[in-house]
Chains A and B, each alone.
Chain A
Amino acid sequence: MPARDAVSLPNTEAFENIADHHIVRNFVGGLRMMLNDRTTAAYFWILVGITFLGVVGPMLAPYGIEQTQYSETGQILSAAPPSINHPLGTTFAGYDVLSRLLVGARPTVITGLLGGGLILTIGTSIGITAGYVGGRTETILMRFTDFVYGVPLIPFGIVMITFLGVGFLSSILVIGLILWRGGARVIRAQTLQIKQYPFVKVAKATGASRRRIIIKHILPNVAPMAIFFLALGVGYAIMLQASLTFLGVASPFTPSWGVMIRNAFNSGYMSQAWWWSLTPGLLIGITVLSTFMFGRGYEDLITADSESVEADTVAA
């Protein structure tokens, strides 16, 4: 792989300090390297697009989400097929599908980012702690992780939501509280490996503190894997949230894409008004696929020995 120079960023001192930090530099460097790869770059831009949709989507919506649409003759446009005025058709109640889709982007993006962030934070902390500290701490943490692995995700999610109360945020919280398990395992394995490398031993022998070793050596080296997990977590969170919504245990009042499919399904019109559930479903699928492929691409390019860890991650 060709050498790449340090990234140049605006020359303010604070910014430089941040940019100079290992993790940031490696992250930015990795991102650049990755965008050279056309396929990965494509997935990246899809994700950027969806995030952007999450920001501006509600503003672009041509109609209100609960604004009943009428035809020129004054009839309610119930489950009307796509037309010029309603490019994605309308729902049974006569709402504009496109508008709901645009508005629904925001909760989806929030779910992804919050859920992914939670998964990343918990998984990385537990993984690094278990891997680096070792001994009894490791045994306990990893037994606990094994235990969480045995938890059937959706039923348990429902139990926890009934415990926490039905709501949009609580569904995300539940997702984060379960799905860190794959990340914890893989990051622990990586930490164990890195810990054995001579450069960590040298740092220890020179008197580097545990904190220093974790921040300066372990974190930057597990960062690609952690990014992979962030991406994966975003995808899983979106998918799981949609599933919980579909079962009716996440808030039905937040007009996410999952709610749209649920409404279409419950209306009994899903085969007639196929446009109602198709676009949200496709969008969820494309988002999840993009996060996964993006994470894979990042990880592939950054770490040479990436292959062996992917297996564990998909089973999360």
Chain B
Amino acid sequence: MSAVVEFEGVVCVAGSFPVLTGLDLRVDRGEILHVQGENGAGKTSLLRACAGLISVSSGKASVLGFDMRVDRKAPRRHIGLLGHENNLYRDLEVSKHVEFRAASVGARASDTAAALEKVRFPQQLWSVPIGSLSAGQRRKVAIASLLVGRPQLWLLDEPHAALDTESRKNLDAILIEASASGATIIFVSHESPVTKEIASRVITMDGGRITEDSGAG
């Protein structure tokens, strides 16, 4: 199996605070990795380091075969990142927003409808400005915006937050399908009940490093 993420002794610093303190991690293609840990353990920073948004101060890091110390921008267009924030333009209509996100990663805007249907976003709200949606509906638009770009690596920070049980199950199904078609998924989550069964591996972080790894044997 080919490694999608390969980190060795990675240290990352945000401002003057060490967010990753010598982290080792290898994630293979098709894995669904569940990252857990207390607040401030470095989970979000791990995702951002994988996305190339924060620079690696020391250690070896490669994502999708690109050396992150050489060019951390290179793998970005193949990565779908969903952070705490939804990355939504409040004043844009739902379908226009998803179309924009699709076009901005070079995907077809015509896939918008399929993506919105996949996250079960009610059709009567497609032309409503995002600002007037509920938190759960916004999360769905955010997921659809990600889905439409068909990323090879999904980095999700609390993707289930604000979603109801039905929508969570649906999201799990989407993730399983993506993983089956070759995508790799890393998601951070505090709550495991619904999601535990989909993760092929669970790691626990503390103090900017991995302290437990279910895949390590």
Is B one of A's binding partners?
Answer: no
Residues on B close to A: CB < 8 A? Answer: none
